[in-house]
Amino acid sequence: MDIREILSVEELPYDLLAEADPSQEAVDDYTRRGKCYGAYDSDDQLVGICVLLRTRPFTMEVVNLAVRSGFQHRGIGKNLIEYAKLKSRSERCTVLEVGTANAGTGQLAFYQKCGFEIDGIDRDFFRRNYPEPIFENGIECRHMVRLRFEL
């Protein structure tokens, strides 16, 4: 697997980004301000994406992470997180953060397996920032669970 920066807006896989964030407006905003990295398989097919955004001095955030459904559970997401840690360190960051929905039980487990620790909850984040309710696992996504990794 090869991970490399996606430099052109025209190359952004909006279908894949939408799997992690249904808001086109939010995706447009953070992809414009952040850096997008694609994971490519041996056939040079884009199978995963990670968007990093510097949010504060010495702090980077994973604002979008998605792996195509047919390629999940193969370590691609973990490789993207390890790459995000490496890139964040190279940018002299000391903290890598991520936020995910309270209903995203699989994502919560995934990030903790990657070494992140729960740091807080942004109550009613999804109700404040998305026009329509979002449901995952039959549960409304109301709160954003914030996690951090000390680099």
- As given in the structure block, the two tokens for residue 52 are 């990093």
Q: What is the pLDDT of residues 6-38, one digit of tens each?
A: 999 889 999 999 999 999 999 999 999 999 999
Judge whether residue 44 has pLDDT over 90. yes
| pTM over the 0.75 mark | yes
Q: What integer is the mean pLDDT of 41-61? A: 97
Q: What is the pLDDT of residues 90-130, one digit of tens each?
A: 999 999 999 999 999 999 999 999 999 999 999 999 999 99
Amino acid 129: pLDDT: 95
Amino acid 21: pLDDT: 96
Phi, psi dihedrals of residue 42, rounded to the nearest 5°: -65, -20
Query: What CATH number did the domain enclosing 64 receive?
Result: 3.40.630.30
Amino acid 9: pLDDT: 85
Four-point Cα dihedral 48, 16, 67, 89, nearest 10: 50
For residue 109, the enclosing domain spans 2-150
Percent of the chain with pLDDT over 90: 97
Average pLDDT of the chain? 97
The count of structural domains within the chain is 1
